[in-house]
Amino acid sequence: MIGVFDSGLGGLTVVKELLLKVKGYKIVYFGDTARTPYGTKSPETVTRYAVENTRFLLKLGAKIIVVACHTASSTAMPVLKQTFPEIPFFEVVTPSMEKALRLTKSKKIGLIGTRTTVESRVYDRLFAEKDPEIKLYSNPAPLLVPLIEEGWLKKPETRRIVKKYLIPLKMRGIDTLILGCTHYPIIKKLIQEKAGKRIKLVDPSEEVASNVANFIEEHPEVKTTLETNGLEIFVSDLTAYFGKIAEMFLGRKVELKKVSIEEMVNF
């Protein structure tokens, strides 16, 4: 079984890509909707939540963990790998960084994400290690998550706010833009329109799903331990509205199962 977690339901854009690229294996998703959002919380808090979420998915039988949350990917990976050294982890930051490196010609790359993701400076560090000539220009875009979760996908307010967030990046002459949050692929067309044709977008959901697919093909010893087929979605809090949001991200109707934080932590 492939375990996937996110602070909320945005990580379902990763599940959607996994269902396309990693066909035939069981996926269990945990959306931490009782403690969402992670993007405004401190790195210590986010790391503790990430460890609890991982432990829950492992107890359910996960053999691979996909951290489908940029905030957790930016802050929690060292502790996760140290706490669960035998588990293959995939996160959403490195694959986007590598894809952007392959795409850019001007070596000027843009990034939008939550405040915590941008302020973690994880992309800055990764680019500096890989290619010191890369110039990364970041802009926190904290209103996009609430706008998307409201379903305001095409409203004029959303269009204006996207434009506003992109202006300082475009002024720097970027030719590649990393969507640094799993919510953003939902408004990819709008972001592309406001960014202009000259700028190539990097969609983290597509990149991480490709990496997981490659890993499984290259590791038959893991492949044989994965259960086949099925998708289960757990959330730590459930309201009527979450069903609609999940459907928006996954592109189809889906059942959400509630597991409280207490049940999850003591599972």
Binding region for substrate:
6-7, 38-39, 182-183
Give which of 62, 92, 112, 105 is closest to 226, Cα–Cα: 62
Candidates 181, 216, 226, 231; catalytic one? 181
Dihedral angle at the C-alpha atoms of 190, 162, 235, 43, nearest 10 degrees?
140
The residue among 169 and 212 lying less far from a copy of itself, judged by its C-beta, is 169
Active site residue 127: no
For residue 12, give the nearest of 103, 148, 120 by alpha carbon. 148
Residues annotated within the binding site are: 6-7, 38-39, 182-183
In the complex with a copy of itself, the residue whose CB is nearer, 118 or 226, is 118
Residue numbers of the site for a copy of itself (CB under 8 A)?
33-36, 40-42, 45, 115-116, 142-143, 145-147, 149-150, 152, 156-157, 160-161, 164, 237-239, 241, 260
- Which of helix, strand or coil describes residue 209? helix
Residue in the structure block whose two tokens are 């800055």 = 124
CA distance 31 to 53: 9
Burial 7-17 (b: 16+ CB within 10 A, else e): bbbbbbbbbbb
Q: Report the helix count and the strand count for the chain, using DSSP H and E.
A: 14, 10
Tell me whether residue 222 is one of the annotated catalytic residues: no
User: In the bound complex, what is the minimum distance in angstroms from residue 41's beta carbon to a copy of itself?
Assistant: 5
150 vs 217 by CB, closer to a copy of itself: 150
Query: Shortest distance, CB of residue 206 to a copy of itself, whole angstroms?
Result: 27
Which residue in 9, 28, 69, 246 is the catalytic one?
69
Minimum gap (Å) between residue 74 Cβ and a copy of itself: 14
Minimum CB separation of residue 160 from a copy of itself in Å reads: 6
The set of catalytic residues is 69, 181
